[in-house]
């Protein structure tokens, strides 16, 4: 087996061997969010005309779960390898920095999609969607997992210990996710915060993904796709630059 498939297989095996922690736990967490928020707000909030609050909430929870788990997969794998010292076995292998990137990114995307599919499956009992836009769903799901998977590689390279990685996730990933319209429409915010929300790239991922489910959105899905693709290109370029330089890996 050549280097890229072998490293990809290793990364896939790493998260699948602890599937209860890496897949089942996020699905249960998303289900708890759904049960709590739908119970409290279903009868009081209607974000879009003709769309129940639970139907509005489910796509946001699916996307949030995909984002967090794609990031967690690549970042946690790298920081563990660095802390345990076995990153050297990957670095001395006949792998290009592009193959290194694609293997970690591919595993992160797969984990994000698996978790997203699991959340959607358990929420189907509450909201059996008739999907109007499958193309948008696939485009946004793949882009979202790829962006956060690449960002996870950046975080894993930068962090030198677990608390630095936790800070990256708690002070960047979680705020961007929770303040992106998972639980609300940005049109319910004051004008200033609506403007601020449009500078949050995660908003476009969640809004475009929701459009695939309910056919309504706060922003043009084509604009969201353009912003998301631009973010993926920029973060991928940064990641490849770091890998090529050996920053915090080859020392």
Tens of pLDDT, residue by residue over 83-104, are: 888 888 888 888 899 999 999 9
Q: How far apart are CA 127 and CA 2, in angstroms?
A: 44
What single string gives the DSSP state of each residue in 176-227? HHHTSSSSS-GGGS-HHHHHHHTT-HHHHHHHHHHHHHHS--SS-HHHHHHH
DSSP state of 250: -
Tens of pLDDT, residue by residue over 129-176, are: 777 788 999 999 999 999 999 999 999 999 999 999 999 999 999 899
The three-state secondary structure class of 48 is strand
Say what the pLDDT of residue 43 is: 64
Q: Is a pLDDT exceeding 90 seen at residue 52? A: no
Tens of pLDDT, residue by residue over 21-34, are: 999 999 999 999 99
Say what the pLDDT of residue 85 is: 86
Say what the pLDDT of residue 68 is: 95
Token duo for residue 71: 């990031």
């Amino acid at each position: 087996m050549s280097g890229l498939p072998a490293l990809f297989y290793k990364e896939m095996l790493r998260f699948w061997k602890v599937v209860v922690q890496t897949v089942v736990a996020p699905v249960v967490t998303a289900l708890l969010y759904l049960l709590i928020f739908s119970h409290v707000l279903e009868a009081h909030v209607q974000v879009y005309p003709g769309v129940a609050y639970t139907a509005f909430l489910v796509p946001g929870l699916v996307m949030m779960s995909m984002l967090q788990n794609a990031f967690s997969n690549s970042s946690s794998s790298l920081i563990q390898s660095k802390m345990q010292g076995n990153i050297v076995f990957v670095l001395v292998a006949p792998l290009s920095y592009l193959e290194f990137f694609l293997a970690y990114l591919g595993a992160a995307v797969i984990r994000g999609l698996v978790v997203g599919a699991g959340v959607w499956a358990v929420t189907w009992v509450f909201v059996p969607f008739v999907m109007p836009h499958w193309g948008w769903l696939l485009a946004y799901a793949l882009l979202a997992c790829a962006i956060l998977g690449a960002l996870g590689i950046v975080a894993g390279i930068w962090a030198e210990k677990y608390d630095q990685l936790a800070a990256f996730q708690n002070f960047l990933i979680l705020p961007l996710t929770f303040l992106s319209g998972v639980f609300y429409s940005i049109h319910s915010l004051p004008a200033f915060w609506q403007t601020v929300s449009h500078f949050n790239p995660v908003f476009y991922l969640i809004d475009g993904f929701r459009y695939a489910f309910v056919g309504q959105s706060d922003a043009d899905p084509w604009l969201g796709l353009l912003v998301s693709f631009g973010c993926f290109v920029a973060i991928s370029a940064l990641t490849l630059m770091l890998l090529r330089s050996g920053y915090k890996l080859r020392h």
